Amino acid sequence: MGQRIREPLETVPFCGFGPSSFWPFRRRLQTLDVTHDFARVRRSMRDECPSRPGVYGMIDARQQLIYVGMSIVLPKRLVTYFQSSPNERKEYRIASHTNRLVWEVIGHGLAAELRELELIRHHQPRFNVRGRRAGRALGYIFISREDAPRLRIGKQVPRGVRYSWGPLVLNWRLREAIETANRHFKLRDCRADTPMHFGDQHSLFALDLRVECIRGETASCLGPCAGLCTRSQYSAQLRAARAFLDGRDRGTLERLEEELQKIVARQQFERAAGIRDRLVRLSYLWDRLAVLREPPLAEQFVYPTQVGNQRAWFLVAASRVVGVVREPEVGAHAAKALQRLKATYDAGATDQLATDRMATQILACWFRTRSEELRSTMTPGDALEICRRACAQAK
């Protein structure tokens, strides 16, 4: 008897983004067919897509949603996918698989970010990585306990370590940034069992010490293994690295920026590229650690904000947005808002909310440069009282 060939499972074609927990106003999905003439696609996009915050999706020839994104200015972001000359950029690779483009205008940047995360988790498009719940590993930066310490990364802080920073998402950019930091501050990155011989370290016998790596030969390491520095000189560089990681010394980045400008002015472009890469990596490290230094947001509050001609309330619980309602006025809106607030903030309701690191980061990033809006927030109790008064006026 011949073996029966299994038919592939049928996939459900894309028929819309679906309902949202983060937008109480009416939404309309707009669409644009994508042809091989990308210049025409860009023109149509500029004509038809409004310059407002929103989310967008890419549909392939099998009518499958393959990518979801968001932008504060939709057409400005979308045209980057359809550049006229093919290259290896991620945007072009996604566009080359796209037969139809869809978008949904969301009148608020925070709501658009939350909607993007919601759609990625619901539809699981194959080109998306951000937002999936199989979170990446967390770890710590620490100063090692060695004769000549250096910056290292690990999932746990080793016992006895005095200085550490984290937790942070462990990824290739963070590892690359720590490698760059060790080089910038001229800390060693050789094997842990490499013997150290500082310049002020006395010995009974004459030692023929030589650097064994290219970093020592190019003076990008202080060379504690070959007596090229004293212990106090090495410790001074370690303190400078600590000041940078603690956020006490931004001068490291400022000096690199000044050096880069001078080198570019001299048209030394190859050297400038190296300085630029170092600046980018150290800036990334500075920004990641800056998030840890920020005071945490309150676990519960209501964030009122203007959306065009309308106003909305973002309901925050467990340090993340769990819903959005129209600002309560007399009538049905007030009754609906009151019901939603009670369901969100009644005793025990927030205790059942699971930790959502990605959603918490979105909210924290939103308020990072909007401290004046954070001051306009109110407690759940104040919001409930406003709703009750609005409902009483409607009777």
pLDDT at 204 exceeding the cut of 90: no
Evaluate the omega torsion of the peptide bond into residue 167 and state whether it is cis, within 30 degrees of 0. Answer: yes
User: What distance in Å separates the CA atoms of residue 109 and residue 139, rounded to the nearest whole number?
Assistant: 30
What is d(CA 172, CA 193) in angstroms, rounded to the nearest whole number?
Answer: 25
Q: What is the pLDDT of residue 8?
A: 39
Region 216-242 average pLDDT: 88
Using alpha carbons, select from 376, 332, 314, 368 the residue that is nearest to residue 106: 314
* pLDDT at site 208: 60
Asked if the model's pLDDT at residue 9 lies above 60, the reply is no
pLDDT of residue 197: 83
- Minimum mean pLDDT among 43-52, 115-124, 365-374: which range? 365-374
How would residue 341 be classed by pLDDT, with cut points 50, 70 and 90?
very high
- Tokens representing 128 are 């998306």
For residue range 61-87, list pLDDT tens digits in order: 999 999 999 999 999 999 888 875 555
- Using CB atoms within 10 Å of the CB of residue 367, give its burial: 0 to 12 exposed, 13 to 18 middle, 19+ buried: middle
The whole-number average pLDDT for the span 339-350 is: 82
Residue 259 has pLDDT above 70, yes or no: yes
Nearest CA among 33, 84, 76 for reference residue 58 = 33
d(CA 285, CA 324): 33
68 vs 124: CA distance, rounded Å: 9
> Across-strand partners of 101?
32, 58
Domains by residue range for the chain, with CATH = 29-123 (3.40.1440.10), 138-248 (no CATH), 301-394 (no CATH)
Centroid of chain to Cα 169: 10
Average pLDDT, the chain: 86
Residue 105: strand pairing partners: 54
Give the Cα separation of 315 and 381 in Å (integer).
Answer: 12
Give residue 21's pLDDT band: very low, low, confident or very high (50, 70, 90): confident
